[in-house]
Amino acid sequence: MKFCLSILASLLVATTAFAAPSDIVSGSTNSSLFFSKNSDDKYEASLYLATEYDHAFENGLQVGGLLEGAFTDDSNAFTALVGPGFNLNAQDLANSFYATVKVGFSRVSIDGDKNTEFTARAEAGKRFKLSESVSYVPGVAVTHVFADEADPTFQVNIFKFSFLF
């Protein structure tokens, strides 16, 4: 995790050498209650939190990172990813289609067993300008944790916003 954060910090510092940048901060949260009983006859709740930071350039390229956490009663997962992206409308980021690819690591803890796994994510979506500095950002993402018997996770983002500054 520290390794991913140090890479993210290095990439963000390195981007200051380029002209006319724009910063994009995105966030989403999802809280859900599962109505299924586990082996202890208890109901489980889960919470998912994520935030992203991307630094965009005049030519449409962007670089950034993603931090997310998922928590349940008996497990949790922390993910840190970094990577490039591309905006189709670099002159108006608040109304742009975009695509990103990020790689990094996930730290998963289930019933006290902890594993760190290589993780990759591809995401595409469209920003819709709500104000000068806020955009609504629906999109889709595919995340794959490269662990034994792990399948890719498909995500539809319907409650995600970007703050541009």
Q: 123, 140 in Cβ contact below 8 A? A: yes
Domain that holds residue 116: 2-164
| Distance separating alpha carbons of residues 81 and 105, to the nearest angstrom | 7
What's the CATH number where 45 sits? Answer: 2.40.160.20
User: Residue 139 above 50 pLDDT?
Assistant: yes
Position 15 scores a pLDDT of 41
User: pLDDT-based confidence at 11, cuts 50/70/90?
Assistant: very low
Name the token pair of 20: 């006319």
| Distance separating alpha carbons of residues 7 and 81, to the nearest angstrom | 9
Position 165 scores a pLDDT of 83
Average pLDDT over residues 148-158: 84
How many domains are contained in the chain? Answer: 1
In degrees, rounded to 5, the angle at the alpha carbon of residue 104 between the alpha carbons of residues 52 and 101 is 60
